[in-house]
Amino acid sequence: MMNFKNIILRHIPILLLLGLSSIRIAAAADTLLILGDSLSAGYQLPIQQAWATQLGERWKLNPKAPAVVNASISGDTAAQGLSRLPELLKTHQPRWVLIELGANDGLRGFPTADIERDLTHIITLVKQANAQPLLMQIRISPNYGRRYTDAFTAIYPKLAQQHQIPLLPFFMEKVAIKPELMQPDGLHPTAEAQPEIADFMAQTLAPYVGLDAEKQAK
């Protein structure tokens, strides 16, 4: 009769493979993917200064915090983010996806129905990948009149309600009212604003990624 020691030795390779697979699954499940535009990409700034990078560096010190993958690209519309999403989901297998898109669509006056459609497809793909969508409210200047601006703003709470997903407050609201924190174009935050945004996002995201919001203030 085969002794217990030999049985264990024979199955060690299989146990190791199972263990490594579990580690990879756990690592993938603890990733926050940021799908955004220039507001999250750190427009005109070194990538190290972008709020998303600062958030990721801070969370590296917390073993309970997710890894941050910033997949934001300056100038991206919702449609462009949608086109990149399948590969990003396959590569990073995130547990959460922060959707920060639509500002460029709104600034270009794209039909709100098209923006809503593209954001809907993004939310659907994220859910199909077994990840949690986190939709950020986006606001734009009233360049195209109040009617368009109101219709654009209304897209986000509508989608959040329809898909039963969190709607996060726009991180630019408190920054945009401070001229000293805005670049000359009046659209993008300065380097000095990035730590403030990182603080705000750390506290805002905390309850959704299993962290204590009160401990996120720097």
Determine contact, residues 140/107, Cβ cutoff 8 Å.
yes
38 is catalytic: yes
In the chain, helix, strand, coil percent, each to 5?
A: 55, 10, 30
Catalytic residue among 30, 76, 92, 188: 188
- Comparing CA positions, the residue from 12, 35, 16 lying closest to residue 24 is 16
Strand 67-70 relative to strand 31-36, pairing: parallel
Report the alpha-carbon angle 48-53-56, nearest 5: 140
Catalytic residue among 30, 38, 118, 199: 38
Neighbours of 139 (CB within 10 A): 17
121 is catalytic: no
- Comparing CA positions, the residue from 116, 128, 153 lying closest to residue 138 is 153
Determine contact, residues 136/170, Cβ cutoff 8 Å.
yes
Neighbours of 209 (CB within 10 A): 19
11 is catalytic: no
Question: Which positions are catalytic?
Answer: 38, 185, 188
